[in-house]
Amino acid sequence: MNPMRIVARRGVFAVVLAASVIYLTGCASMTRMSTRYKPLHPSNNQSVDFTVNATDGDGISQARLYVYEYALSVVNGMQTATKRNNGTWGLVKTWNFPSNPTSINETHALTGFPASTFLTFLFRVTDKKGNSKQEEWSFAAGDWPFGNNPIPLWGNGAPAERIDVCFVADRTDYATARNMLPDLEALIFDGYHINNGVKMGKKYWQFYYSPQRGFISDFDASPRTMDIPSSVQNSTIIDHAAVIHTTVKRDWASGGNFGTEPTNIGTAAHESGHAAFKLMDEYSGGGHNTSSDPHHNNYNSKSNCESYNTSNGWPAADCQNIEGSWWRPEPSSLTCIMLNDGDAAMPDFERTCINRISWFYSQLETP
């Protein structure tokens, strides 16, 4: 094979990627991987489990875990993370798979980290053909030195280029904010991360929790109240907050913030669909609005809805009346999560919403 041609093709491919954000999924020879750690925000010197889950049709030959330990402090008035002297820095574990399994699920525990730690971990998985894929995430460990500021649980980039979600413990259900953390593991890793719209842009989702608790009432309560701590409400990095409660309530949203039970993963993804992507409800009795952004899932006339579908290659006849003058371009037979949030199940975002989500992600990072 002519190496010059490979270089040229890779160059073209890179340009296409930058121009339109292409998501590669479903190819048998690609490594698919997910990573996680536990417990969330480990306390001082508490052992931490790092886990990688990967599949690759070509067979997997190796996995490696790298950990980078930073110390958090205030330097010249700035909250700063600096490499910790004598801290963990680099490769900590290698798994070799001479039988080249098509799937792996490995965990490595590290003894704990002191107060004021910020950790980055990186898993790199290499397939039998020598192709590698990696995931890199960061989180706080040990006592948090920055007061009531939201504590990073899962992130990898500049907040301006990410969707930053802060969880707030409902004070009626959790004696401390930290008591909520075990419930968040499933909500993040087995909730948000299994949603199709989140998965296609997983790197864009960052999660935090508030050291201070809050409160959300039932929708039908009088007065109807939501209390988001000011350090979250006024945060320059948080895009929306979710009050986590275990008492069963009729949930609602206001100002981009919402409440949910941690087990209602579909509710959380639906509400984040409103808050992050400005998608609207596709059911009667929900909130309806249209938008000047491309690909919205509510139209205020049948003809506008039909022209959207026609211009996107979908049947005009798919448009259905929601209520009053409001129309949805994707039919109820598709059962989008914006039509029915699924509560503890996780319905997919469907075609119109997926297009909106793709567009939204493409706006987050400017080349």
| Site residues (vs Zn ion, CB under 5 A) | 281
**At closest approach, how far in Å is the CB of 180 from Zn ion?**
23
CA distance 273 to 254: 13
Nearer to Zn ion, 281 or 318 (CB): 281
**At closest approach, how far in Å is the CB of 363 from Zn ion?**
22
Nearer to Zn ion, 281 or 350 (CB): 281
What backbone torsions phi and psi does residue 348 show, to the nearest 5 degrees?
-80, 155
Residue with tokens 């109807």: 224
**At closest approach, how far in Å is the CB of 49 from Zn ion?**
35
Residue 106's SS3 state is strand
**At closest approach, how far in Å is the CB of 279 from Zn ion?**
8
Nearer to Zn ion, 139 or 299 (CB): 299
Burial of residue 359, with CB atoms counted within 10 A of its CB: 0-12 exposed, 13-18 middle, 19 or more buried: middle
CB within 8 Å of 86: residues ≥ 6 apart? none
Question: Do the beta carbons of residue 124 and residue 63 sit within 8 Å?
Answer: yes
Nearer to Zn ion, 158 or 345 (CB): 345
Nearer to Zn ion, 173 or 281 (CB): 281
Nearer to Zn ion, 37 or 258 (CB): 258
CA distance 335 to 285: 16
133 half-sphere exposure, CB direction, 13 A CA radius? 17
**At closest approach, how far in Å is the CB of 341 from Zn ion?**
7
Distance, CA of 288 to chain centre: 25
**At closest approach, how far in Å is the CB of 322 from Zn ion?**
12
Other beta carbons within 10 angstroms of residue 313's beta carbon come to 7
Question: Do the beta carbons of residue 59 and residue 130 sit within 8 Å?
Answer: no
Nearer to Zn ion, 187 or 353 (CB): 353
What backbone torsions phi and psi does residue 161 show, to the nearest 5 degrees?
-110, 20
Distance, CA of 164 to chain centre: 8
**At closest approach, how far in Å is the CB of 200 from Zn ion?**
21
**At closest approach, how far in Å is the CB of 273 from Zn ion?**
8
Nearer to Zn ion, 180 or 269 (CB): 269
- Residue 60 token pair: 């997997």
**At closest approach, how far in Å is the CB of 350 from Zn ion?**
15
**At closest approach, how far in Å is the CB of 147 from Zn ion?**
33
Q: Which helix H or strand E contains 63, and what residues bound it?
A: strand 60-75
Determine the residue with CB nearest Zn ion: 281
Nearer to Zn ion, 183 or 281 (CB): 281
Nearer to Zn ion, 281 or 330 (CB): 281
Question: Do the beta carbons of residue 37 and residue 154 sit within 8 Å?
Answer: no
Q: Which of 202, 197, 161, 157 is nearest to 364 (CA)?
A: 161
Q: How far is CA 3 from CA 10, 15, 273, in A?
A: 11, 19, 44
Question: Do the beta carbons of residue 360 and residue 337 sit within 8 Å?
Answer: no
CB within 8 Å of 41: residues ≥ 6 apart? 139, 140, 141, 144, 151, 153, 178, 181, 209
